Amino acid sequence: MKNSVLVAFFVLVLMVVAAAQTSNNLGFVMHQVKPGETIYSISKAFGIEQKELVNANPDLVLGLKAGQQLRIPSLQTNPTKAVYPQQQEELPSFVHYKVKRKNTLHYIARQFDVDVEDILKYNPEARTGINKGQVLRIPVKADLERIAAQQAEKALLEPEVPGEVLHRVVGNETLYSISKKYNCSIASILAMNPGAVNGLRIGMELKIQPEEGPQTTGAVASEDGYFWHRVVSGETFWGLEKKYDITKDELTELNPVLKNGLQSGLQIRIPMQKVPEIQVVPADESAFEKYEVGRGETLYSISRRFDVKIPELKRVNPVLNYRGLVAGETILVPKKKEKIQPDTEFMIKTPVSPADKTDYSIEVYVENTSSVCPPNPAARTGFYQVGLMLPLYLPANDTINRVRVSVEEMLADTSLLNQVKNVSELPVDSFYIRKDKQVYARSDNFLHFYEGVLLAVDSLQRAGMHVQLNVFDTNQSAAVIDSLIRLDIFRELDLIIGPVYPEQQKQVADFAFKNRIPMVSPLSAAGTFEQNNPYYFKVNPTKEYLIRKTADYIAEEYYDKNLIVLKMGEYKHLPEAELVSLCREKLFFSDFNNHSNRVLFHEYNFQEEGTWGLSRILSNDQENVFIIPSETEAQLSVAITNLNGIAEKYPVTLVGQSNFQRYKSIQTEYFHHTNLNFLSPYFVDYQSPVVNHFVSRFRRNFAAEPNQFSFQGYDVAFYFMSALFNYGENFIDCLFGFQPDLTQCVFSFDKVSRMGGYMNQGLFVTEYGRNYNVSMKGIIGKHAGYLSGE
């Protein structure tokens, strides 16, 4: 009986094989079986009958296994003629590079001025890592740009099909995963993209016609509840862990390529469930339009449709800071201001962002709000000791105000004589006396900072806070600082502000860490103590952070403009080189160039070609956005002077840095003519009631005008001492969303590493307008997103 069963089984197999031989002339697509798939689900996905699938894969009679390779018959009307002729993609020329020890893909990409994804496209085996001695094909940058330009021009000539989506293949995507993503059959994808019958390549562009039904867009959702995240330069594992609440081990398990490190350009999978649940409730329904996202739509297409800035869409739909759009979901779109009633007032009641001047109100509820603390009534009854460490140079100030006076001068000067109680006390010849109130030059700004702190202390004491300010003159001396921290009072401090110079901070930072006392670095962006000290706060963000956020700002604000890098000399060794690389990366390898005619990104060598060649790349009908990668005042002065002349004929915007304002060789009116934009942690709005009140108090108390250090002293002291007053000694965990009214800062502190401290991420976008106004265009920060001031 057993033998007869086996014979019958093998006869069945032979019959299936014979049947399969009748379709040998058909084309096939290879598919790797995934866990949970069945013969029915696979045949449904590929739009074929189950028997056709079994005929093409006789071993299916033995069962379906995960990882099994299946041949999927492609639909053809004539088995002797291929319906899908192979399309030859134009290839760039290549340079062959032999991998050296310690090389990374990011390093090699930087060496050849290409993107990591360019290398992976033509070296797919490198996705699992590279080894010493391995030879890579590096595409020539000029060829890549030429091919991209040709493809863009070709796309313009092809008629657009309604509802059609252009999808770029990323990571380890398959025809099956793409068909699920767009809710369409693989057969329809092959019909529209004949070249895909020979396999997919990273970077390949596919035309997709999504079918009806609820499904996510290609920009966001992936198979089995995942979405793709593209790694950008400067991104860290810690940053991803915080953003998506996922551990490094979990990320690596999902993306084995991460075993070789986090490299720019990689596409990695993130579980959709890691995106936080965020609910937005409009305070005024009439200020928004509720819009249902259609299939294939992106932030860029919606922003152009409604003429709303992309950052503003993210701001009122905070979940979009974590992922892209999902087809079928409803988002809020702010209406144009002229459509809003003039008496509508903006007020934010949540810790997501500080108040600004837009014309609507929202309330945001985040699923995990454990870090949002209510005020602690017990904290308001406490007594707090605050230490302020500044280089006031008191001995130098005492010396500079001591002048030599003879007895004759003393007797002739009544004001001096009044300082002496008994004439018999006069010395025989001369003596020193404090005569004028002069200030030692090096301590002037720190005295302004101290005066700002005093006004903050006064404000909080009037509000009921019991606080004692202990001021220590560090005199910029390590020996002095070492003696100060040995004082008994230091162990009783609840907050330490200063020292101001990083080279003087180590002793205090170690002391603060050991005794669990929050320590604030109030002025300098240098130093790295925040990396390993959980009690350390850096108020001024690093230049690296400013550059990353400037690149984000350019990509979101000017993605459809004419971007020009004005090269004034060799800059690859400068931090500004990273700004250029990030802008190029964000503009060319994202959805930006899918929703505009093409990305206009030029690098022009001004040093060699002068101004005459610029006319070839300048645009008359759209903004010409300039970046000048230089830190030399002389080079910047020449460049901006020439841009000033160009701005008379062309629309020009210069995206620069805050230090441009300090260069005396550049006329301020040139900044207005070139519409200078820059990101900075400071902006003083002299129309603000808080600023006006502060200025009045400063004048009244110190008979002088406040400067930037005065505002900074007030803001730093008021922010951290207010946190003490509201939450007590353990205020660190309660800073999320804590935003008291300040004069020139918007503080948004975030941890820089798992075991480290905090850095301020709040930035203002400042604009020198063509109307000669200097205005705050928006706010950037973890809790603020980007708030458009327009």
Give the tens place of pLDDT for each residue, 337-348: 653 343 333 333
3-state secondary structure of 542: coil
C-beta neighbour count of 122 within 10 angstroms:
17
Q: What is the pLDDT of residue 371?
A: 46
Which of 641, 661, 680 corresponds to the end of one domain? Answer: 680
Q: What is the pLDDT of residue 404?
A: 61
Q: Are residues 693 and 744 in the same domain?
A: yes
In a domain, 136, yes or no: no
Residues in the chain, overall count: 790
**Alpha helix ranges (H) inside 413-476:** 414-417, 444-462
Q: How far is CA 139 from CA 145, 208, 232, 582, in A?
A: 10, 28, 20, 19
Question: Which whole number is the average pLDDT over 255-267?
Answer: 76
Four-CA torsion 344, 345, 351, 356, nearest 10 degrees? 120
Question: Which whole number is the average pLDDT over 663-681?
Answer: 95
CA angle 758, 762, 765 (to 5 degrees): 155
List the structure tokens of 467. 């606080």
Report the mean per-residue pLDDT for the chain: 77
Q: Give the pLDDT band (50/70/90) at residue 744.
A: very high
Which of 619, 648, 680 corresponds to the end of one domain? Answer: 680
- 514 Cβ neighbours under 8 A, 6+ residues apart: none
Lowest mean pLDDT segment, chosen from 121-125, 428-432, 600-604:
428-432
Q: Are 248 and 237 in contact (CB under 8 A)?
A: yes
Lowest mean pLDDT segment, chosen from 184-193, 298-307, 762-771:
184-193
What is the CATH number for 334? 3.10.350.10
In sequence order, the β-bridge partners of residue 466 are 383
Question: Which whole number is the average pLDDT over 704-728?
Answer: 96
Q: Are 557 and 311 in contact (CB under 8 A)?
A: yes
Residue 710, phi then psi, degrees to nearest 5: -65, -50
Q: Are 423 and 391 in contact (CB under 8 A)?
A: no
What gap in Å lies between CA 550 and CA 680, rounded to an integer?
10
What gap in Å lies between CA 712 and CA 691, rounded to an integer?
12
List the structure tokens of 641. 């002077």
Q: Which of 654, 754, 652, 720 is CA-nearest to residue 467?
A: 720
Q: What is the pLDDT of residue 594?
A: 45
Q: Are 356 and 787 in contact (CB under 8 A)?
A: yes
Lowest mean pLDDT segment, chosen from 40-44, 344-348, 511-515, 785-789:
344-348
Q: How far is CA 567 from CA 574, 575, 678, in A?
A: 12, 14, 19
Of residues 425 and 320, the one with the higher pLDDT is 320
ω before 499 within 30° of 0 (cis)?
yes
What gap in Å lies between CA 382 and CA 467, rounded to an integer?
9
What gap in Å lies between CA 93 and CA 192, rounded to an integer?
28
Question: Domain tally for the chain?
Answer: 4
Q: Are residues 548 and 535 in the same domain?
A: no
Q: Are residues 388 and 526 in the same domain?
A: yes
Q: How far apart are the first and last CA of the chain?
A: 85
Chain segment 74-121, per-residue pLDDT in tens = 544 333 333 333 344 567 888 899 998 878 887 888 888 887 777 877
Q: Are 537 and 518 in contact (CB under 8 A)?
A: yes
Q: Which of 531, 484, 465, 459 is CA-nearest to residue 731?
A: 465
Lowest mean pLDDT segment, chosen from 50-59, 410-419, 699-708:
410-419
Which amino acid does the sequence have at 308?
A: V
List the structure tokens of 707. 């400067």
| b/e burial code for range 458-474 (CB count within 10 A of at least 16 → b) | ebbeeeebebebbebbb
- 268 Cβ neighbours under 8 A, 6+ residues apart: 171, 228, 229, 231, 251, 254, 255, 257, 258
Element (H, E) at 471: strand 466-473
Lowest mean pLDDT segment, chosen from 330-344, 377-391, 393-407, 740-754:
330-344
List the structure tokens of 544. 């690296």
In a domain, 186, yes or no: no
Q: Are 421 and 365 in contact (CB under 8 A)?
A: no
Of residues 28 and 368, the one with the higher pLDDT is 28
Q: Are residues 504 and 388 in the same domain?
A: yes
DSSP 428: S
Element (H, E) at 770: none
H, E, C per residue of 668-734: HHHHHHCCCEEEECCCCCCCCHHHHHHHHHHHHHHCCCCCHHHHHHHHHHHHHHHHHHHHCCCHHHH
Q: Which of 520, 523, 529, 485 is CA-nearest to residue 732?
A: 520
Q: What is the pLDDT of residue 762?
A: 92
Domain range spanning residue 352? 281-366
Which amino acid does the sequence have at 675?
A: N
Q: Give the pLDDT band (50/70/90) at residue 501.
A: very high
In a domain, 473, yes or no: yes
Classify residue 785 as exposed, middle or buried by CB count within 10 Å of its CB (0-12, 13-18, 19+).
buried
Chain centre to alpha carbon of residue 285:
30
Chain segment 236-252, per-residue pLDDT in tens = 888 888 878 788 888 88
Tokens 């950052």 sit on residue = 311
Kindly tell me if the per-residue pLDDT of 651 is higher than 90.
Answer: yes
What gap in Å lies between CA 783 and CA 762, rounded to an integer?
8
What gap in Å lies between CA 244 and CA 268, rounded to an integer?
12
Q: Give the pLDDT band (50/70/90) at residue 262.
A: confident
Classify residue 676 as exposed, middle or buried by CB count within 10 Å of its CB (0-12, 13-18, 19+).
buried
Q: Are residues 16 and 58 in the same domain?
A: yes
Kindly tell me if the per-residue pLDDT of 422 is higher than 90.
Answer: no
In a domain, 110, yes or no: no
What gap in Å lies between CA 268 and CA 256, rounded to an integer?
9
List the structure tokens of 449. 């900072």
List the structure tokens of 563. 């971007």
In a domain, 650, yes or no: yes
Task: Determine if residue 720 is left, alpha or beta; phi over 0 gives left, psi from -120 to 50 gives alpha, anything else beta.
Answer: alpha
Q: Are residues 591 and 712 in the same domain?
A: no
Q: Are residues 571 and 646 in the same domain?
A: yes
Chain centre to alpha carbon of residue 54:
50
Kindly tell me if the per-residue pLDDT of 772 is higher than 60.
Answer: yes
Of the chain, the percentage scoring pLDDT greater than 90 comes to 33
Tokens 């963000």 sit on residue = 541
List the structure tokens of 597. 């005619």
Kindly tell me if the per-residue pLDDT of 697 is higher than 80.
Answer: yes
Kindly tell me if the per-residue pLDDT of 69 is higher than 70.
Answer: yes
Of residues 356 and 73, the one with the higher pLDDT is 73
In a domain, 142, yes or no: no
Q: What is the pLDDT of residue 115?
A: 77
What is the CATH number for 482? 3.40.50.2300
Task: State the greatest distance between any 2 C-alpha atoms of the chain, in Å, as a whole number.
Answer: 137
Q: Are residues 599 and 672 in the same domain?
A: yes
Q: Are residues 711 and 667 in the same domain?
A: no
Q: Which of 592, 596, 598, 595 is CA-nearest to residue 555?
A: 592
Task: Determine if residue 638 is left, alpha or beta; phi over 0 gives left, psi from -120 to 50 gives alpha, anything else beta.
Answer: alpha
Q: Are residues 565 and 648 in the same domain?
A: yes
List the structure tokens of 324. 């892209």
Which of 44, 73, 102 corresponds to the end of one domain? Answer: 73
Q: Are 108 and 141 in contact (CB under 8 A)?
A: no
DSSP 441: G
Classify residue 515 as exposed, middle or buried by CB count within 10 Å of its CB (0-12, 13-18, 19+).
middle
Lowest mean pLDDT segment, chosen from 314-323, 353-362, 625-634:
353-362
Q: Give the pLDDT band (50/70/90) at residue 785.
A: very low
List the structure tokens of 69. 């390779």
Kindly tell me if the per-residue pLDDT of 186 is higher than 80.
Answer: no
Q: Are residues 529 and 386 in the same domain?
A: yes
Angle 689-702/708-727 helices, nearest 10 degrees? 110
Q: Are residues 635 and 494 in the same domain?
A: no
Kindly tell me if the per-residue pLDDT of 218 is higher than 50.
Answer: no
Q: How far is CA 588 from CA 151, 172, 229, 311, 596, in A?
A: 13, 20, 16, 19, 12
In a domain, 620, yes or no: yes
What gap in Å lies between CA 710 and CA 689, rounded to an integer?
17
Q: How far is CA 352 from CA 444, 541, 688, in A?
A: 37, 20, 21
Kindly tell me if the per-residue pLDDT of 156 is higher than 70.
Answer: no
In a domain, 156, yes or no: no
In sequence order, the β-bridge partners of residue 448 are none
Lowest mean pLDDT segment, chosen from 342-346, 571-575, 649-653:
342-346
What gap in Å lies between CA 187 and CA 197, rounded to an integer?
10
What is the CATH number for 647? 3.40.50
3-state secondary structure of 552: helix
